[in-house]
Amino acid sequence: MRRLRWWGFVVALAVGGSSLGLAPVYAAAKKEAKRSEQQIQVRTTKPKASAPRKAVKGKASVKRKAVVAQRQAIIPARPTHGQLAGLHRTDDPLDLKSNVALVMDQETNEVLLAKNEAAVLPIASITKLMTALVVSEAQQDLDEVLTISSEDIDTEKHTGSRLAVGTRLTRGELMHLALMSSENRAANALGRHYPGGLQAAVAAMNQKARQLGMADTRYVEPTGLSSANQSSASDLARLVKVAYEVPLLRELSTSTEHKVRVGRRDMAFRTTNGLVRSPTWDIGLQKTGYIAEAGRCLVMQAEMAGRKLILVFLDSAGKYSRIGDAERVRRWLSTHRAG
């Protein structure tokens, strides 16, 4: 390519150079073009380095990693609503990584730990807990077969799904996948088939929130993909307490794995909460959530230190930090009780 550019320049000079008195420039350009061609030939015929192939590959890998790191440094992570509000500047005795946290005794409502518990933030897929609650209260047939349609495709965040358009599952199976695996299309299909349709489902969710005294809570759709679905830790603790009273929600949300028949094959779905699989945890109900605006979220009912507790963690930055915060709370409670 470089040689072509030089010869283009030379030809241009040859055509008009004499009339402009550029003969010396023409000669210099021709000489430079010849030298460049010789250099190109030398580079192309130069023997390959004798270093081992593995070493060259390693250097290339290091170079690629350096480029990626540089790009990551240039492009900052998108801040959550909580970070934009400065909630990350709040200190707490456990050095929690979640910007919002609440630990409450389920039976007495005693607050054992609170951090920005009144902050109103996007709650991501924690939304699905309310979706499942209103669907269960509508007493619709769990064995009725529903079909995933194009209306269930995520047009908010453009996320994918393993449930292709045309997939047919029972209402109970869709509720299972929505609570356990946080399946967005499953949750939206539940809302679409609610009596009166999707808008009626959202209206029922907001009405239930008001009934429970969740004054800071608002829903606009049943999946949690919209950042307009917002609540506070205090409100969500109320929701967890009521949802725990529904045996079906306890069972489905704490399931570790479930297989459904999709077409001609069985498809396995797993829980989004690794603590459910841990034999050291006694979890009665749970739901995880994540969108960029909300950060990592987690609500749980669990028994620890001889007490039934409700735990809420919102706006956590790291992928595993909400799980780490739950472990920090458990260790703190064990130490606190022993002391």
Catalytic one of 125, 226, 232, 234: 125
Catalytic one of 97, 115, 128, 208: 128
- Detail the residues annotated as belonging to a binding site for substrate: 287
Integer-rounded Cα Rg, in Å, for the chain is: 30
Q: Could you tell me how far CA 87 lies from the centroid of its own chain? A: 20
CB 332 within 8 A of CB 283: no
Q: For residue 137, give every residue at least 6 positions away whose Cβ sits within 8 Å of its Cβ, in sequence order, or none.
A: 208
Q: Is 182 a catalytic residue?
A: yes
Q: What are phi and psi of 288, to 5 degrees?
A: -105, 170
Residue-by-residue DSSP string for 237-304:
HHHHHHHTT-HHHHHHHT--EEEEEETTEEEEEE-S-GGGG-TT-EEEEEEEEEETTTEEEEEEEEEE
Selection from 256, 217, 262, 219 nearest residue 237 by Cα: 217
CA pair distance 20, 216, nearest whole angstrom: 80
Q: Is 136 a catalytic residue?
A: no
How many C-beta neighbours within 10 Å does residue 4 have?
Answer: 8
CA pair distance 294, 301, nearest whole angstrom: 21
Tokens describing residue 92: 């707490």
CA pair distance 324, 14, nearest whole angstrom: 74
Q: Is 19 a catalytic residue?
A: no
- Detail the residues annotated as belonging to a binding site: 287
Tokens describing residue 93: 């005795």
Catalytic one of 181, 182, 226, 231: 182
Tokens describing residue 225: 């993909």
How many C-beta neighbours within 10 Å does residue 84 have?
Answer: 11
The dihedral region occupied by 271, where left means phi > 0, alpha psi between -120 and 50, and beta the remainder, is: beta
CA pair distance 44, 22, nearest whole angstrom: 33
Which residues are identified as catalytic?
Answer: 125, 128, 182
